[in-house]
Structure 1
Amino acid sequence: MDQLTAFLQDRWLVVVIAVVVLFLIVKLVKTVIKWVLVLAILAVVIVYGATYKDKLLEVTDTIGTAVTNEIKDQALKAVTNEAKDATYKKNDDGSYTVSTKSIRIDATPGSNDAKITFMGQTFNLKIDEALQKVIDQAKQK
């Protein structure tokens, strides 16, 4: 149902044009061809609406990726700004946690990936030079 609603909201002009064309065909054409044209136009609109789901998913994925990248950038900026207040804690399982007032970094020694918790959202991030500097600085305290 969401697919149909999104299709109607985004492509309402196509539906209006199809209805107008159907109305004209019904009024002007008086033969069996009229019903063939009506069915053909309805089929085209239905197929177009059915394939709209793929386009909607593509747009949703693009927006989701952009939001995720922005959150990761903001988290990296925040952890860099808060590096002086970072605390390092070695966990019982061999992993470690670096915490600031708004960010938590969980990782294992020797791993290139870290689990970042920022603004209530958790995501994985590669440990780059800036993040490693923050971890090292917290470890030295």
Structure 2
Amino acid sequence: MSQFTPQSALPKLEDVRIAIAVAEWNGHITSALRDGAVSLLKSNGLKDEDIAVVSVPGAVELTFAASKLIETGNFDAVIIIGCVIKGDTPHFDYVCQSVTQGMTSLNADCDIPVIFGVLTVNEEQQALDRAGGALGNKGTEAAETALKMVALNRAVDEL
């Protein structure tokens, strides 16, 4: 597998506020994803007060948290971070479908982007590889995507 390589430079933005909703379930993984996202945002000029992080129990609750964060009108983008590891029951499928449909609905209905930073993996090692391991940090990639989508949103608003 190849590691994600951004195709374009990150935009230089001013007055940006990003919210991150993080699932507590599989916290050893989601905290690494969160830390990667926060680190990338700070290295691109955001300050602590420009980044709001909220926790929810699990991945299904990410849609509600993102919706509430959007309703505040205080943010330019919302990143949702979670980790769902496949088990022996269909629970994995229901959780993944729920969070994916919820995020898709928010993106279709709201004026700011919601970025999908939820790992959906077959086993824990695959998640660890994507949370700062051999395959990088998908939280960092989610933060890169958030900045690019904020820039896109602002550019479209000016058309």
Verify same fold: TM over 0.5. no
- Larger helix share, 1 or 2: 1
Structure number with greater Rg is 1
Higher relative contact order (CA 8 A, sep 6+): 2
What TM-score do the two structures reach when normalised by structure 1?
0.29
TM-score (norm 2): 0.26
